[in-house]
Amino acid sequence: MKGNACERLGIDSKQIHLPEETTTEQLLDQIEKLNEDETVHGILLQHPVPNHIDERLAFDTIAIEKDVDGVTSEGFGQTAFNFGKFPSCTPAAILEMIDFYHIPVEGKRAVVIGRSPILGKPVSMMLLNRNATVTMCHSKTENLPEVIQQADIVIAAVGKPSFVQGNWVKQGAVILDAGYNKGNIGDVDYDSCVEKAGAITPVPGGVGPVTISMLLKHTVLSAEWKTAKGNI
């Protein structure tokens, strides 16, 4: 899907398939080659990678100016400190949709379910930087439905199919479903939530396609900034 989207926009995309038995060192070598390749403006490491690979090290080897998928620790730090160029794509998509539909964020209670490095953590920081009061929940959270009940904005990013129930959410809450589970099922039980939600995203559709758009947008920006720099 990402390759097709690139083609539609006139972005050259190159897929590099490495064999299953590739070592971390070999993967890092490949990433470093792409870092140095002046014709490459964005690097996406398709994940999860096999267990024997140090995924975090691989992510953090991506040059920050080519980290269009927003996976590096440094990029996360910059996003959290509100000056990151390429936030992780799913969080970026969530904020893009919130802005597109003029959903108010400042002073609102946001509850984020899930704390992954490319989803729950960055979207929490981005909502915080927009002046929401943000609660970060996860598998060890006690009385989760009660916590969600207080939310004006619910971000479901937990990886459990149809997890969030309609009777957990407040009337009028805005529900963004960033879940991708087997069978194209989201993290939100759409049918029970749609009646109470002030706004809700479906799965499939919703956050997913916008996420791909964010990846493409970051790649174009990366290329444009590089060209602008080259012209100085």
Q: Which of 12, 106, 182, 191 forms a contact with its own copies (CB under 8 A)?
A: 106
Q: Does 147 bind its own copies (CB under 8 A)?
A: yes
The three-state (H, E, C) secondary structure of the chain, written as one string: CHHHHHHHHCCCCCCCCCCCCCCHHHHHHHHHHHHHCCCCCCCCCCCCCCCCCCHHHHHHHCCHHHCCCCCCHHHHHHHHCCCCCCCCHHHHHHHHHHHHCCCCCCCCEEEEECCCCCCHHHHHHHHHHCCCEEEEECCCCCCHHHHHHCCCEEEECCCCCCCECHHHCCCCCEEEECCCECCCECCECHHHHCCCCCEECCCCCCHHHHHHHHHHHHHHHHHHHHHHHHHC
Looking at 14, 29, 37, 46, which residue is catalytic?
46
Q: Does 159 bind its own copies (CB under 8 A)?
A: no
Q: Does 155 bind its own copies (CB under 8 A)?
A: no
Q: Which of 77, 104, 145, 204 forms a contact with its own copies (CB under 8 A)?
A: 77
Q: Which of 25, 33, 47, 81 forms a contact with its own copies (CB under 8 A)?
A: 81
Q: Does 162 bind its own copies (CB under 8 A)?
A: no
| Stretch of residues binding its own copies (CB under 8 A), selected from 23-31, 86-94, 119-127, 169-177 | 119-127
Q: Does 72 bind its own copies (CB under 8 A)?
A: yes
User: Does 30 qualify as catalytic in the annotation?
Assistant: no
13 in a known ligand binding site: no
Residues that constitute the known binding site for NADP(+)? 114-116
Binding residues for its own copies, rule: CB under 8 A, are 56, 72-78, 80-81, 83, 106-107, 115, 117, 121, 124-125, 128, 131, 133-138, 140-142, 147
Catalogue the active-site residues. Answer: 2, 46, 69
